[in-house]
């Protein structure tokens, strides 16, 4: 007896039900803040874990993220399932600039040496200030075009002089 759907399609449909609807875009080097639901007996409380993303692995509902923070001078790493119902909220607090997918070298670093360079991406830049639209006269447009042309000619001449 054969199934009408393949095993892979069946797995995707089952996993699809448990996926988080919105996952912010983040990558290794970014600092994220996870809000966790912690059950304690009959009650539940909210707890935050903020740290640097050391790496991501897996895919679909099995995707995991490794987050590292320094707590009272001791490095603490936790592995969180990205689509877990216990992770209620994920927010990116800072973007880091790194050139690796796994940042295990941070385990040996302390203090300022463990700090990553910050990256400012265009999508998170402050909202642009509304500028007034000023209509330029035809004379101003001609002058602007002449300046552009003169600049191009100057660059071309400098390039020729370099070749000689």
28, 99 contact by CB (below 8 A): no
What pLDDT score was predicted for residue 80?
A: 94
Q: What are phi and psi of 156, to 5 degrees?
A: -65, -40
Tokens in use for 83? 């689509």
Is the full-model pTM beyond 0.75? no
What are the structure tokens assigned to 152, written together? 């191009």
Distance CA 51, CA 93 (A): 9
pLDDT digits (tens, 9 = 90+) for 3-34: 677 888 887 777 777 788 888 899 999 999 99
Q: Counting every residue, how long is the chain?
A: 164
The helix/strand/coil state of 87 is strand
> What is the per-residue pLDDT for 3?
61
- Phi and psi (nearest 5°) for 71? -120, 115
Q: State pLDDT tens for residues 67-98.
A: 999 999 888 999 999 988 899 999 999 998 98
Pick 41 or 122 by higher pLDDT.
41
- Quote the percentage of the chain above a pLDDT of 90: 38
Q: ∠ CA(118), CA(123), CA(125), 5° rounding?
A: 65
Which value, to the nearest 10 degrees, does the dihedral of the CA atoms of residues 142, 146, 148, 152 take? 150
């Amino acid at each position: 007896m054969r199934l009408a759907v393949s095993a892979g399609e069946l797995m995707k449909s089952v996993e699809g039900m448990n996926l988080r609807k919105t996952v912010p875009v983040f990558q290794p080097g970014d600092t994220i803040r996870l809000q966790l639901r912690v059950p304690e007996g009959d009650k539940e409380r909210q707890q935050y874990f903020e740290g640097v993303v050391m790496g991501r692995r897996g895919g679909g509902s099995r995707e995991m993220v490794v987050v590292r923070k320094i707590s009272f001078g001791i490095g603490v790493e936790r592995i969180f399932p990205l689509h877990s119902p216990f992770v209620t909220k994920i927010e990116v607090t800072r973007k880091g600039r790194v050139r690796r997918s796994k940042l295990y070298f941070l385990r040996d670093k302390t203090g300022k040496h463990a700090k990553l360079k910050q990256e400012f991406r265009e999508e998170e830049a402050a909202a642009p200030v509304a500028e007034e639209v000023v209509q330029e006269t035809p004379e101003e447009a001609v002058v602007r075009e002449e300046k552009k042309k003169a600049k191009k000619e100057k660059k071309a001449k400098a390039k020729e002089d370099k070749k000689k």
